[in-house]
Structures are given as C-alpha cells and as structure tokens.
Structure 1
Amino acid sequence: MALVETVYRLSRSFPDSEHFGLTSQVRRCAVSVPSNIAEGAARRSTAEYLRFLSMARGSLSELDTQIQIATRLGYIEASPDFEQRVDTTFARITALMNALEKVGAAR
C-alpha cells in the first residue's frame, strides 16, 4: 500500500499529456500489486493464492519498468528509495510464495 502512495505522489509530476497514458498505466500497475495479493489471500486454495502472488510480482515488474521509462523521459528523477521499495516488495512476495510452496509440498 505504501508503494501505491509513493507512485501516486511520483506520477503527479508527469505531464498532462500523459494523463491517459503513462500516468494511468503506472497507477493501475501500482494498485494491481496489493489488489492481487488481497484477492489471492481470499481464495480457497494455495495454488490460486500462488497464481495471484505471481500476478502481483508481474505487475510490480511492469511498474518498475514504467518508472524507469518515466525517468528516462525526464518526468521524474531517479529515486533509490523507490527502487529499494520495489526490491523489498518483490523479495517479500517471493518469500511468501516460497513459504506457501514449501507448505504445499509438505502436505
């Protein structure tokens, strides 16, 4: 959720011409990460949860790429704090996936 807040703040500085382009896409990706985690957690099987966690990681990677594009286009400055937050979030999702896979394998 903190990542979503950060992305919304960062994307405020994007040009108006990107309102329906990169701004919208970056925000949708950011919102997709916790949304997929929440939806997966509400599912009835570990396999479904893992599928949604995988989608969350995909959205996170897509978000990272789009932020890099925005940086290259000069819409925002590079942010080591943002990169750290993305890396930490990716690692946490991966750790959760690994733990769920381990529990599933033990059954």
Structure 2
Amino acid sequence: MSEDNRLRDVFDAIADPTRRRLIRLLAEAEEKPLHELTTYFQMGRTAVSKHLTVLKEAGLVVDRKVGRETRYRLNATPLREVQDWLAFYSKFWSTNMLRLQQLLEEEEE
C-alpha cells in the first residue's frame, strides 16, 4: 500500500500504547501469527486483530495467509513520516539547549 493509498494517519495509528507495543513486537521478529501476538496482551484475539487492522490501514503492518493462519510483519516505511516530523523538533531542542548553556555560562562569569 503506497503512502497515498493509506486509509489512516500514521500518527493516529501509533497514538495507542497497544499498537505501539504491537509495532515493537513485530520489529523484533520477522513475522508473527495472530495467536502468538495475542499472548502478549490481556485481551482477546478480536481486540488484538482490531489494533492490527488500524496498523494495516496506516500501512505499518502487512499480513499474509498461511493456511488458516494470518501472519503479520512490520512495514516501518511509514514511520519515516514520524521521524521527519520529530527531526524538526530535535533541531528546536538542540538550539534551545545551546542557548540555555550559553546563558548559564554567561551567568557563571
């Protein structure tokens, strides 16, 4: 799914802690089946599946059928949008920390 065809905003998809944890679990493995992902949460398969659907709509997760089992893997490419957005604020904080350091050094003198 290309970025233009995403059904859901990446920021919306990662806003939920459960979905961020799913992303983390999938980042640590090549792919995982739904029943295995469910073991990490105190919720049923249906609830985990709904979270995976949100991630899939944002292009963050890809699934494939293997027999009766659905396996999920991470597609981290859409996270680049988040990284780019944060990069601006990283520069902002670096600049402000430098100014604070200069101010503190001036006060010491």
TM-score (norm 1): 0.34
The structure carrying a bigger strand percent of its residues is: 2
The structure carrying a bigger helix percent of its residues is: 1
Highest Rg: 1 or 2? 2
TM-score (norm 2): 0.33
